[in-house]
A and B are shown apart, each in its own frame.
Chain A
Amino acid sequence: MNEQRSVWQTMQAKGYSRRDFLQYCTFAAGIAGIGGAGLAKVVEALETKARPPIIWLHFQECTCCSESFIRSSHPIVADVLLDLVSLDYTETLQAAAGVQAEQCLHDTMTNAHGKYILLVEGSVPTKEGGVYCTIAGRAAEDILREAAEGAAAIIAWGSCASNGCIQAARPNPTGATPIHKLVSKPVINVPGCPPIADVMTGVVTHILVYGKMPELDSQGRPHEFYGRRVHDTCYRRPYYDAGLFVESWDDEAARKGHCLYKMGCRGPVTYNACSVTRWNGGVSYPIQSGHGCIGCSENNFWDNGPFYRHLASFPGFGIETTADTIGTVAGVATVAGIGAHAVVTNIRKRKLVKLQVDRTRGVQADHAEPRKDGEAS
């Protein structure tokens, strides 16, 4: 009964070269903290062992990330589950329950120690000894620490796991805490409420297919999907530049698709793929469907409201000033985990353009040095 297809065999079947495979092994070894002679063992393991095991934990969340994940259109989720990975533990979909489910978790943590990818959906409540979220009688924090210890890579799905999201909004009654503050390993943050389905599967396949960690920004977000502001890639941007704004819901400007900035759109301070990748197979995104962006992938977005108050009291240059303030606060909020640099700072459009030109040339200008809050422009 045991015809295990190794990662090497699967990659061969999909047309990848030996070189690609060795790169993947190097990556897997790197994130597992294995170097030198140990690398040969990783190569051997992946040549002969099976699909990469995945553990998906659920804590304080609404399951919108899981729901989003199954909306993936490329790859479709059945292919992910049957061909790409071995999703050994996920409370939302797995057949087993109770002790049998916990056995799945335990087996993978033991048998694939150092090799599994840990996906975390939800924040962890740290107040009162963890009584605000228990699974099988154990506190969420306890479960997280144990699973993180043997993980080769950790991905924080959604805003809950990346920045605490709604339960961390003031007054944060349960002490909801993002994952990267609780584990000592690097965490790939994939924020959004939820993240776009094809971004989620994109991050996983980036790791598995290219065999390397995606480039991350200062907040631990993959640059591939979080490197651009919604505002800068929005098809309504020309209306902003021309000063053509929706002034009231369903007014003539709304019906013509003008800029939603004055209706509170957070596109100018939100880094996400919405306006390029769009949602649900590229059908639309919030702005295209007439509502402003609420900034759901940004740190602390729930407390940057109310949502319908626009970002600055005067349109135009003020936007970047507000964006910078938010960016700096967010940077402070996510120091742990990845290593902190400034995100975006006080730059006028001129500087922003230069920064983005530098970025596309591969110069990580935004990582180079933290800029001072309130810097004149």
Chain B
Amino acid sequence: MNRIVVDPITRIEGHLRIEAQVEDGRITDAYSAGTMVRGFEKILKGRDPRDAWAFTERACGVCTTVHALASVRCVEDALGISVPKNAELIRNLMFCTQFVQDHVVHFYHLHALDWVDVVSALSADPDETSGIAKSISRWPKTSSKYFADVQQRIATFVKSGQLGIFANGYWGHPQYKLPPAVNLLAVAHYLEALQWQKEIVKIHTIFGGKNPHPNYLVGGVPCPINTEEVAAVNTERLNMVGRLIGEAIEFVEQVYLPDLLAIAGFYKEWASIGGGLSNYMAYGDLPTRGYNEPESFRFPRGVILGRNLAEVVPIDGRDKEQIKEYITHSWYSYEEGDGTGLHPWDGETEFNYTGPKPPYEQLNVDGKYSWLKTPRWKDQAMEVGPLARMLVAYASGVDEVKEVVDEALARLEVPVGALFSTLGRTAARGLETRVVVRWMKGFYDDLIANVKAGETKTFTRERWDPSTWPGSAEGVGMSEAPRGALAHWVRIRNKTIDNYQLVVPTTWNGSPRDAQGQRSAYEASLMDTPVADPQQPLEILRTVHSFDPCIACAVHLYDPHGSHVHRVQFS
């Protein structure tokens, strides 16, 4: 029996540690541990709820904006605020911008090196790469000369002997299956994607002033629309958004999707590895008639149980019997005992670190072993993320989703069951991007139509002033982050935050096992995964990266009693 420890898991957000037992070349057990905590919920207590978006947005700078959106929604839900149509559209545009940028960066910069051997690209024939590129896309940069230049640049870099971010990769590992020509194509697009991703985020900059961490506003959006002024969202600003969306559609359809399908074709065995759980959950998002009408969302809401695509089960974030968090294996303690599960509105947590004193070699996985809590829906483990969203949408009959999923399955000549896998998860992310980038164009057209019709309102004033608020109120803001279902729960009392809780996608996927010993998605997906060389556990990275981990989001705590309040004196 061999315990593999991978810490740090790199090319993710945050600090994640995986420990895995390997027997006869297969993983027989796996443990996922978040090793960093900051204490957001304690910090939020007593603050102005209108400020919470700015605090919670800092949960994560990779999936920036998504926490801000969930936050303004939970406060609006608590205070009974409906935002104007333009605010809904601008929020949707910012949401789509985030999805498209984040998914592209994940594919090329965080995940691709699990499948693409950079060193192998040096032995590629640029003519062959050019031929492949032209056969799968009408993207303009496909000449032999272009790929020869990229190859030369990488060769100079490698010959320097300083491999920088590419140093010590698993280059030459037998599990790398791409021919050199395809590796070169992927390396070229790694560099192109790095350039492109900084363009699409300018949509955040236009509406929110900056990226990462654009500004939001309870009751609407902070950017006024005025087609007769220069210092507002005007014709020039909207034109820029339009151009950026057009370029995004081009990049996704002519670079990301063709690359994804080309690479996937060489790794079909990964369509039967890494499936893990059989339950999938999506809160849904992209409202078209307001947050309170989930049936109007472009991404539908619901749960799929036992991989049964014939039924989508409804979810209620307010029902205290549905979503609960456990801490049996997490470094916290509950008043009623560590086996209890608590709904976020009633949640409680105290730090209770029982792990080894650093430096340490191994965690005690029989006890508590992570800073992530363990959320459950009706006491069942759920996978969340692009695959869950695509499955819920597919099962709900969303035409655009059915179209891209069926087309990809046909192209790869694999059955629907192939989706329940590491490859399926990675493919779903790309297919979703294609759907989202098209929806994005629709939201833009709707915004222009509204402005043309003279509708420029971006903010609802009625409940901005705290004197209009009830003595106490509670709300839930459900959303979808690129990594999956995200929700914030808030209780407001005497105009300030009485308690606040975030339950985020990586908490669902990356948490330790629950009180009954049920594994969450990372741990379940790693079970039975083949590991060719325990010294170079490339296969672990493939499956863990297929979830796009985001650990800073996932770790936080909540304290209803306000204990442990103390101030560190700077002097």
Contact = CB atoms under 8 A, between A and B. Distances in A.
Interface of A: 1-5, 50-51, 53, 58-68, 70-73, 76-78, 81-82, 85-88, 90-98, 100-104, 107, 125, 128-139, 142, 165-176, 193-194, 196-197, 235-236, 248-250, 254-257, 274, 279-281, 283-291, 294, 296, 302, 305-308, 332-335
Interface of B: 5-15, 35-40, 42-43, 47-48, 50-51, 54-55, 58-62, 64, 105, 109, 113, 118, 153, 156-170, 191, 194-195, 197-198, 201-202, 204-215, 217, 219-226, 229-232, 240, 331, 351, 353, 355-361, 371, 456-459, 461, 464, 536-537, 541, 552, 557, 564-568, 570-571
A60 B36 CA distance: 7
A236 B167 contact: no
11 contacts: A1-B161, A53-B162, A70-B105, A94-B10, A95-B165, A107-B167, A139-B359, A249-B219, A279-B210, A290-B221, A290-B223
B219 to A, nearest CB: 7
A340 B207 CA distance: 39
A55 to B, nearest CB: 11
Given A129-B357, A283-B205, A91 B48 contact: no
A131 B355 contact: yes
B76 to A, nearest CB: 14
Contacts of A58: 15
Nearest to A122: B36
Nearest to A68: B212
A220 B162 CA distance: 31
A254 B224 contact: yes
Contact of B224 (A172, A197, A255, A305): A255
Which residue, B35, B167, B359, has most C-beta atoms of chain A within 10 A?
B167
A165 B203 CA distance: 26
Contact of B222 (A50, A129, A249): A249
Contacts of A102: 8
A78 B205 contact: no
A308 B213 CA distance: 17
Contacts of A249: 217, 219-220, 222, 224, 458-459, 461, 464
Contact of A50 (B161, B165, B198): B161
Nearest to B167: A104
Contacts of A137: 7, 356, 358-361
Contacts of A235: 231
A135 B34 CA distance: 10
Given A86-B160, A101-B10, A128-B353, 15 more contacts: A60-B38, A61-B552, A78-B191, A85-B164, A95-B165, A107-B167, A131-B357, A137-B360, A193-B58, A255-B225, A279-B205, A283-B206, A290-B221, A290-B223, A305-B51
Contact of B8 (A63, A76, A91, A334): A91
Contacts of A65: 61
B552 to A, nearest CB: 5
Contact of A62 (B13, B157, B166, B223): B13
**Which of B10, B232, B537, B565 gathers the greatest number of chain A CB atoms within 10 Å?**
B10
A86 B543 CA distance: 29
Identify the 7 closest CB pairs spanning chains A and B, nearest first.
A64-B61, A257-B231, A173-B39, A95-B169, A286-B209, A289-B209, A291-B222
Contacts of A175: 568
Contacts of A294: 54, 215
B239 to A, nearest CB: 13
Nearest to A133: B36
A81 B191 CA distance: 10
A63 B457 contact: no
A132 B531 CA distance: 31
Nearest to A333: B570
Given A88-B164, A257-B231, A98 B537 contact: yes
B161 A4 contact: yes
B435 to A, nearest CB: 24
A89 to B, nearest CB: 9
Contacts of B571: 332-333, 335
Nearest to A96: B168
B9 A97 contact: yes
Nearest to A71: B198
Contact of B64 (A64, A94, A197, A248): A64
Contacts of A135: 7-8, 15, 35
B167 A1 contact: no
Nearest to A181: B570
Contacts of B197: 70-71
A3 B160 contact: yes
A236 B230 CA distance: 12
Given A5-B160, A95-B167, A173 B42 contact: yes
A136 B211 contact: no
A137 B552 CA distance: 17
B458 A250 contact: yes
B58 A171 contact: no
B4 to A, nearest CB: 8
Nearest to A263: B222
Contact of B5 (A98, A131, A296): A98
B109 A93 contact: yes
B10 A91 contact: yes
Contacts of B54: 294, 307
A58 B210 CA distance: 22
A92 B16 CA distance: 12
Given A65-B61, A73-B198, A280-B201, A131 B353 contact: yes
A308 B168 contact: no
Nearest to A101: B10
B8 A255 contact: no
Contacts of B331: 131
A87 B10 CA distance: 14
B353 A286 contact: no
A103 to B, nearest CB: 6
